[in-house]
Amino acid sequence: MSAAHETVSPGSARAARYVIYAALIFLALVYLLPLYVMLSTSLKSLDEIRGGDMLALPGDPSIAAWVKAWGEACIGVSCVGIKGYFWNSIKMVVPAVVISTLLGALNGYVLTKWRFPGHKLVFGMMLFACFIPFQAVLIPMARLLGAAGLSNSTAGLVFVHVVYGLGFTTLFFRNYYEAFPDELVKAAMIDGAGFFKIFWRILLPSSGPIIVVTVIYQFTNIWNDFLFGVSFSSGEASPMTVALNNLVSSSTGVKEYNVDMAAAVFAALPTLFVYIVAGRYFVRGLMAGAVKG
């Protein structure tokens, strides 16, 4: 550090810091701009949108567009707003997250503490399943759901999200349990504790952080999914993202930008809320999914 101080005068060092802060603040504003525009547009009237400036604050903020988006906006032929689709998404996300997380925890436990010949191959195959383009399974899944009478149903979507989320949840728990000391498990075995007892009493109580990471990751991914939703459901049974796209891309009648933006805010709220409350875990999940611990 001393060398740096000798070569750089204090004045230019301070100038450099101003430049860095200015650049960071500018970039932060750029990243915030679309969210700001989305929110402010949703609070404006249509006249103000047409006559005014996108960046201007709403002159007379009103939540009329929010009310309309929630309960009255027309999606397809029915004009009952997005609330039904919002609940569809909730009904889809909650069971899918719970089941896939639970299975992932058990899989991770087996793959680290009860290893068997070929465990690496099994894990490798589950891992690769995380990365396949879902287009490669779309047609067979559509056929299967149709044959099982599950197409266009929330149960069908729950099933699909559990199946294609398993790879990631297994990956998360496997990497976490890998670092869990084997000695504790061995000691419990000697005490006569069985498979489930060890899991329940020893691993699960210290799995808090990875459960949070997995739940957030799965929640975000499933809530934000569009491809499965649009492929396996339609009309009233669609999840929120599909309904939002239908609302925004419909070309009939007057384009109500404020209602579109309010609906987009509704679609974004749950994941944004999770991000604000538990951002640290959210980032950790993204990283684990990308760089694999």
Partner 1 sequence: MTTIEPMPVVVPERRKPSLADGLRNGLPKLVLAPSFAIILVFVYGFILWTVYLSFTTSKMMPIYKWGGFDAYYRLWSQPNWYVAMQNLAIFGILYIGICIAIGLFIAILMDQRIRAEGVLRPIFLYPMALSFVVTGTAWKWFLNPGLGLENTMHNLGWESFKFDWLVNPKMAIYTVVIAGVWQASGFVMAMFLAGLRGIDGEIIKAAQIDGASTVSIYRRIIIPLLRPVFLSAFIVLAHMAIKSYDLVIALTGGGPGNATELPSTFMYSYTFTRNQMNVGSASAVMMLMGITAIIVPYLYSELREKNQ
Q: Where in 144-183 is the site for partner 1 (CB under 8 A)?
A: 163-164, 166-167, 170
Could you tell me which of 220, 244, 268 has the C-alpha nearest to residue 93?
A: 220
Nearer to partner 1 (CB atom), residue 210 or residue 225: 225
Question: Quick check: 266 and 240 in contact, CB under 8 A?
Answer: yes
Burial bucket for residue 154 (CB in 10 Å: 0-12, 13-18, 19+): buried
Nearer to partner 1 (CB atom), residue 98 or residue 137: 137
- How near is the Cβ of 82 to partner 1 at its closest, in Å? 12
- How near is the Cβ of 55 to partner 1 at its closest, in Å? 5
- How near is the Cβ of 31 to partner 1 at its closest, in Å? 6
Given candidates 59, 149, 235, 279, which one binds partner 1 under the rule CB under 8 A?
Answer: 279
- How near is the Cβ of 57 to partner 1 at its closest, in Å? 13
User: What string marks each residue from 181 to 200 as x (binds partner 1 by CB under 8 A) or -?
Assistant: -----xx-xxx--xx-----
Q: Near partner 1 by CB under 8 A, which window of 32-40, 62-70, 75-83, 149-157?
A: 32-40
Asked if 23 touches partner 1 (CB under 8 A), the answer is yes
225: left (phi over 0), alpha (psi -120 to 50) or beta: beta
**Chain residues 123-142 in contact with partner 1, contact rule CB under 8 A:** 124-129, 131-141
Asked if 249 touches partner 1 (CB under 8 A), the answer is yes
Per DSSP, helices labelled H in 43-153 are 46-51, 64-71, 83-113, 119-131, 135-147
The count of residues interacting with partner 1 (CB under 8 A) is 96
Given candidates 202, 261, 281, 288, which one binds partner 1 under the rule CB under 8 A?
Answer: 261
Question: Quick check: 82 and 243 in contact, CB under 8 A?
Answer: yes
Asked if 1 touches partner 1 (CB under 8 A), the answer is yes
**Chain residues 70-89 in contact with partner 1, contact rule CB under 8 A:** none
Q: Give the C-alpha distances (Å, rounded to integers) separating 270 from 87, 184, 220, 227.
A: 12, 38, 8, 19
